[in-house]
Amino acid sequence: MTQATHDRTAWFKGGTANCQVTLAPGARAYRLVLLGAPGVGKGTQAELISERLGPCHLSTGDVFRNAKTLDPSERTPALSAALEFMKRGELVPDDTVIGIVRERPNCLRCPGGFLLDGFPRTVEQAEALSGMLKDLSMKLDAVLSYDLPIEQIVSRLSGRRTCSSCKAVYHVTGKPPKVADVCDQCGGKLIIREDDRPESIRVRMQAYETSTAPLAEYYRQRGLLISIPAEGSPEDIYKRTVVALAARP
């Protein structure tokens, strides 16, 4: 396990920002990628994996959502354009996303490991990640791909509520907060994500089928893919994940 809670300072600030994470003696630093359709539960699993196995949760979607809270004058033109793509449910252009990950080298070399969620999302992004890791003499341990029938995905997305402050994820029936619309963890206001509107969900699903689903084959060919059924409770899926990871050399 890592020592220090992950506040993800380096991920949100980028540049030379650091998180002061150290690896406990004998612990393993996992370097993982999560794949799966929008709403399958990647963020939910990322929270459990990060809390219990230690790698820091690096979500490109969270970087964009965090940028929304900045004053528009503090956003770069590329970031402002990215927010418009995101609102419509479209993928942000590869150059912008790759640039954002490149500006955060301390996260990929974090001694506690990392858990990339939402990146890579295209083969071009996967190639860029491979180059960044090669430059750091690092390798991925595995790519966890979560699978679920579309009807269940739509039900998960339509009930999702997200904390506007710490980004914790809830569900109106599956994981309700103790107090309606208030985050259990930080007291922040819970909101419906802009891209969870039906018209944006449709566009996101199409983008997934066209650009992201082929990544499963990309990583299968490289011997890294682990497919995990995403039915059942978050705890059931987490247990499947741990068993599958332990089965790898």
Q: Which stretch binds ligand AP5 (CB under 6 A): 11-19, 25-33, 70-78, 230-238?
A: 230-238
* Site for ligand AP5 contains 43 (CB under 6 A): yes
Of the residues 44, 106, 145, 241, which one makes contact with ligand AP5 according to CB under 6 A: 44
Nearest partner of 11 among 109, 81, 157, 145, judged by Cα: 109
- The catalytic residue positions are 42, 121, 160, 193, 204
Nearest partner of 117 among 33, 189, 192, 185, judged by Cα: 33
* Site for ligand AP5 contains 85 (CB under 6 A): yes
Least Å distance, CB 233 to ligand AP5, is: 5
Backbone angles phi, psi at 211, to 5 degrees: -105, -35
* Site for ligand AP5 contains 105 (CB under 6 A): no
Binding to ligand AP5 in span 134-193, by CB under 6 A: 156-157, 159-160, 169-171, 174-175
Binding to ligand AP5 in span 55-84, by CB under 6 A: 59-61, 64
Residues 65, 167 contacting (CB under 8 angstroms): yes
Of residues 64 and 218, the one with the C-beta less far from ligand AP5: 64
The residue with tokens 């997305």 is: 157
* Site for ligand AP5 contains 102 (CB under 6 A): no
Q: Which stretch binds ligand AP5 (CB under 6 A): 9-17, 39-47, 73-81, 102-110?
A: 39-47
CA gap 161, 189 in Å, rounded: 10
* Site for ligand AP5 contains 219 (CB under 6 A): no
Of residues 105 and 111, the one with the C-beta less far from ligand AP5: 105
Sign of CA dihedral 7, 12, 16, 22: positive
Of the residues 92, 126, 224, 226, which one makes contact with ligand AP5 according to CB under 6 A: 92
Residues 40, 150 contacting (CB under 8 angstroms): no
Nearest partner of 108 among 58, 63, 34, judged by Cα: 58
Residues 228, 241 contacting (CB under 8 angstroms): yes
Least Å distance, CB 6 to ligand AP5, is: 17
Contacts of 11 (CB under 8 A, 6+ apart): 56, 58, 62, 63, 104, 107
CA gap 81, 71 in Å, rounded: 14
Least Å distance, CB 156 to ligand AP5, is: 3
* Site for ligand AP5 contains 86 (CB under 6 A): yes
* Site for ligand AP5 contains 97 (CB under 6 A): yes
List, as one string, the DSSP characters of 172-225.
TTTB--SBTTB-TTT-PBEE--GGGSHHHHHHHHHHIIIIITHHHHHHHHTT-E
Q: Which residues bind ligand AP5 (CB under 6 A)?
A: 36, 38-44, 59-61, 64, 85-86, 89-92, 97, 118-119, 121, 125, 156-157, 159-160, 169-171, 174-175, 195, 204, 233-234, 237
